[in-house]
Structure 1
Amino acid sequence: MKLPTLAFVFSAFLGLSQASYLPGFIVQENDVGSILQDSTKLITNCGDANDILTIDYVALSPDPPVKGEDLQIDFKGYLSETVPNGTVVEIIVKYGVVKLIQKKFDFCDKIQEVDEKCPIPQGDLTFNKVVALPKEIPPGKYTVHAEIITPEEKRVACLIGQTIFPRN
Structure 2
Amino acid sequence: MKVTNLLSVLATAASASALSINLMSGLNDQSPMISPATVPTIPGGSPITYCVEANYNPKNDLVDIERISIDPNPPVVGKSLHLEVSGDVKQRIEEGAVLAVEVKLGVIRLIKKDFDFCDLLSQANVTVSCPIEPGHLEVIKDQDLPAQIPPGKFVVSAHLYTTGKKELVTCLHTEITFGRK
Range of TM-score over shorter length? 0.7 to 0.9
Counterpart contact for 1:145–1:160, Cα < 8 Å: yes
Q: Which runs of 5+ in 2 are unaligned?
A: 1-8, 16-34, 52-56
Question: TM-score, structure 1 length as denominator?
Answer: 0.77
Greater length-normalized contact order (CA 8 Å, ≥ 6 residues apart): 1
Single out whichever of 61-70 and 48-57 deviates more from structure 2: 48-57
Question: Does residue 49 of structure 2 align to residue 44 of structure 1?
Answer: yes
Contact 2:13/2:83, CA 8 A, preserved across alignment: no
8 Å CA contact 1:149, 1:156 repeated in 2: yes
Residue 4 of structure 1 aligns with which residue? Answer: none
Question: Is contact 2:42-2:48 (8 Å) kept?
Answer: no
Q: Which consecutive unaligned segments of at least 5 residues does structure 1 have?
A: 1-6, 14-30
Whose strand fraction is larger, Structure 1's or Structure 2's?
A: 1
Quickly say closer, same or farther: Cα 1:151–1:122, change in 2 above 3 A: same
C-alpha RMSD of the superposition: 2.4
CA shift for structure 1 position 55: 1.1
Give the match's secondary structure for 1:143.
Answer: strand
SS of the aligned residue for 1:49 comes to helix
Q: TM-score, normalised by structure 2?
A: 0.72
Corresponding position of 2:119: 109
Instruction: Give aligned-pair identity as a percent.
Output: 34
Deviations along 1:21-53, one digit per CA (max 9) or x if unpaired, are xxxxxxxxxx96825242225111125222222
Q: Specify the SS of the correspondent of 1:125.
A: strand
How far apart in 2 are the matches of 1:35 and 1:96? 24
Q: What does residue 21 of structure 1 align with?
A: none
- The CA deviation string for residues 47-80 of structure 1, in whole angstroms up to 9 with x for no partner, is 5222222211110100000000000011011111
**As a proportion of its length, which structure holds more helix?**
2
Task: Indicate the residue corresponding to 1:63 in structure 2.
Answer: 73
Q: Does 1:89 align with 2:91?
A: no
Could you tell me whether the CA contact under 8 Å between 1:143 and 1:160 is conserved in 2? yes
Q: Give structure 1 regions of 4+ aligned residues with deviation exceeding 3 angstroms.
A: none
User: Aligned to 2:139, which of 113, 117, 127?
Assistant: 127
> Are the aligned partners of 1:78 and 1:124 in contact in 2 as well (CA < 8 Å)?
yes
Q: How big is the shift at 1:147? A: 1.3
SS at match of 1:167: coil
Contact 1:51 1:154 in 2 (8 A): no
Out of 124, 142, 167, which is 1:154 matched to? Answer: 167
